Structure formats: C-alpha cells, structure tokens
C-alpha cells in the first residue's frame, strides 16, 4: 500500500471504507470514492494497458481525462478512463490488450 495515510494538509486517511474490485482476475482493495487509477497505483499497478499495436506498456499520464492513456475495460464497457471513474463495489476491470494488425502485415509483405 503506497498511500499517504497522514498528509500534513489533507489530514488523515483512515476513516474510509475499503471496496474490493478485480483487475485482470485478481482482487484488490480500494478506498471509498477513489478513482480506478489511484486505487491501482496504491496497489502498485502502473501498467493499465499495452499499446494496441506495438505492445509497449502504458499507464496513467495526465490523470485529468484528456490523454486517454489510462483507458481500461470496466464491466465490459471498453475505453473507460481509469483516471475519471470512481471504484464501485465488485467492479470488473480488464487492462487493454494488443490487437492483431493483419492487414498491415500483409501490406508489408508485398
């Protein structure tokens, strides 16, 4: 857990309920009304998806909903921004996978 439990300005962080959610099959704990990106970061997960074509790992970047780098699949709804979605009870989150690029390979082979 890498949360700041006792922030000099924001104060203590111990009166919030823990909410279980699953990410890629494993269950993790998040605090109440915490975003998916923050909850995963607190659990030590920084790679939210991999690039659809080249597979390079990607994670949270702007954290305010512009860059779309943190898009994950939440309850079968794809391309949901993890940095803007609040964790709910028993949320099922899957990370982004690499997509096949069949046509591009064919073009390159010609």
Partner 1 sequence: MNSNEAIVVCRCEEVTYGQLRTTAEEHQCTAREIKLRTRAGMGFCGGRTCRIPLDRIIEDVLPNVSQGDIPLKYQPPIRPVSFGTVGEKND
Positions that interact with partner 1 (CB under 8 A): 51, 53-54, 56, 61, 66-69, 71, 77-79
Name the minimum Å distance from CB 45 to partner 1. Answer: 20
Name the minimum Å distance from CB 68 to partner 1. Answer: 5
CB closer to partner 1, 54 vs 109:
54
Name the minimum Å distance from CB 82 to partner 1. Answer: 14
d(CA 110, CA 106): 7
CB closer to partner 1, 77 vs 110:
77
Tell me which residue has tokens 């993890």: 82
In degrees and rounded to multiples of 5, residue 77 shows phi and psi of -105, 115
Name the minimum Å distance from CB 42 to partner 1. Answer: 25
Q: Where are the alpha helices (H) located in 1-110, listed in sequence order? A: 36-42, 102-109
- By DSSP bridging, strand 77-81 and strand 71-74 are antiparallel
Q: Where are the alpha helices (H) located in 9-94, listed in sequence order? A: 36-42
CB closer to partner 1, 75 vs 79:
79
CB closer to partner 1, 20 vs 55:
55
Q: How many CB atoms lie within 10 A of CB 5?
A: 8
């Amino acid at each position: 857990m890498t949360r700041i439990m006792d922030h000099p300005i924001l104060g203590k962080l111990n009166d919030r309920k823990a909410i279980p959610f699953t990410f890629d099959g494993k269950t993790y704990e998040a605090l109440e009304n915490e975003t998916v990106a923050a909850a995963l970061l607190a659990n030590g997960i920084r790679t939210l998806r991999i690039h659809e074509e080249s597979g390079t790992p990607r994670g949270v970047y702007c954290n305010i909903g512009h860059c779309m780098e943190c898009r994950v699949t939440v309850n079968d709804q794809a391309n949901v921004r993890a940095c803007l979605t609040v964790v709910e009870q028993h949320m099922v989150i899957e990370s982004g996978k690499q997509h096949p690029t069949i046509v591009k390979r064919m073009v390159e082979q010609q």
